[in-house]
Chains A and B, each alone.
Chain A
Amino acid sequence: MTTITPQSLEVPARRRGTGTRATRIIGLATIVMIGWLAVFGLLISPADRDQGDSVRIMYVHVPSVWLAYLAFIVTAICSAIHLFGRRHSLGVDRVAGASAEVGVVFMAVTLVTGMLWGRITWGVYWQWDARLTTTALLFISYIGYLAVRGLEGTRQQRARRSAVIGLLVVLEIPLVHWSVRLWRSLHQEATVLGTDLDVSLDGLMLFSLFSGVVAFTLLFIWLVLHRSRMLTMIDLAGERALDEALASRISEGGEKRA
C-alpha cells in the first residue's frame, strides 16, 4: 500500500525559463509602443502628398530595416569581442547568434513590406534594382551565417568560425545603404534626412516613425535577452546529455569487466 505524505502531494516546482522582472517590464513597454505605433501609423498620421496612404507602410518598413541593421552591427561587435578579446567568451558569442537570428527575421519583414509598398508605388512586387538586390544579398548572407553556426564542431570552433563570418558580412550594410546613390535606383533616398541633412517629413509623420523605431528597439532588446538565454540553455542541455552518455558508457564498461 502506498503511504500518502504531505511531501508526495506537492507538485514539483516548474524550473524558471528565460524571463526575469526586467524582460517582463521591457515586454510590456514593447506591447504598449507597438499598439501606439499601429494607431498612429494607420489612423492618426496624415497621408503623403505624393504617395498617399501607402506612406503608412513606412512606419513598419523603416523601423524593421533599422532593427535588422542594428542586430547585424551588434552581431559584428560581439564577434569582434569574442575573436580579439582575451577570454574568447562564449556568452558574447551567444549574444552574437541571438542578435543575428532577430536580424534575419526583421530583414525578412523588411523585404516583404518593401515588396507590398513597391507593388503600390512602382506597380511591381520586385525589381532587380540595386537597393532591392543588395538587401536580398544581405538577407541570404545572414542565413549563411546562421547555417555556419549550426555546423558540427566544438562550441569554441562554432564561435570562431561564425565570428569571422559575422565580421565579414556586416561590411555589406554600407553597400546596401549607399546603393541608391552608387547606382541608379527605383528606391527612394533616405526618408528622414536628405543629402542636405534637413528633416523632410511632416511633424506627425516623423513622430509616428520615431514611435516605430522606439517600439522595435525595445522589441530587439527583449528578443535578444530571451534568445541568448535560450542559446545558453541549449548549450548546457547538450553538455549534460554528453556527460550522462559518457557516464553510462563508463558504467557499462565497468559492468562488462566485472
Chain B
Amino acid sequence: MRDAGFIIGSYLITLGAIGAFAVRTLRLGRRLADSVPDEDKPWL
C-alpha cells in the first residue's frame, strides 16, 4: 500500500479521537452519577 503511514495514521487519529472522547464521557458520567440520586435521573 502506497502512503500507508498517512492512510493508517488517518484511521488511528479518527478511532483514537473517538475512543478518547467516548471514554472521557463515560468516566465523567460515572463520577457525576455519585453526586446525583438515582431518582433525579429521568433516563433510569
Chain A residues with a Cβ under 8 A of chain B: 14-20, 34, 38, 41-42, 52-54, 56-57, 60-61, 64, 102, 105, 108-109, 112-113, 116-117, 119-120, 219, 222-223, 225-227, 229-230, 232-234, 236-237, 240
Contact = CB atoms under 8 A, between A and B. Distances in A.
Contact of B25 (A14, A38, A226, A240): A226
Interface in B1-44: 1-4, 6-11, 13-15, 17-18, 21-22, 25-26, 28-30, 32-38, 40-44
Q: Is the interface of A mostly helix, strand, loop or mixed?
A: helix
B6 A57 contact: yes
A222 B37 CA distance: 23
**Nearest 5 Cβ contacts at the A-B interface:** A18-B29, A17-B33, A233-B32, A60-B14, A17-B29
Contact of A109 (B8, B17, B33, B44): B17
Interface of B: 1-4, 6-11, 13-15, 17-18, 21-22, 25-26, 28-30, 32-38, 40-44
Contacts of A16: 33, 38, 41, 44
B14 A18 contact: no
B25 A237 contact: no
Contacts of A57: 6-7, 10
A119 B7 CA distance: 11
Given A15-B33, A16-B33, A18-B26, A116 B38 contact: no
A119 B6 contact: yes
Contacts of A227: 25
B15 to A, nearest CB: 7
A15 B36 contact: yes
Nearest to B31: A17
Nearest to A56: B7
Given A15-B34, A18-B26, A112-B13, 7 more contacts: A34-B18, A52-B3, A116-B9, A117-B6, A219-B22, A227-B25, A237-B36
A79 to B, nearest CB: 21
A97 B21 CA distance: 15
Contact of A240 (B6, B13, B33, B36): B36
A233 B36 contact: yes
Nearest to B6: A116
6 contacts: A17-B29, A52-B2, A57-B10, A60-B11, A219-B18, A237-B32
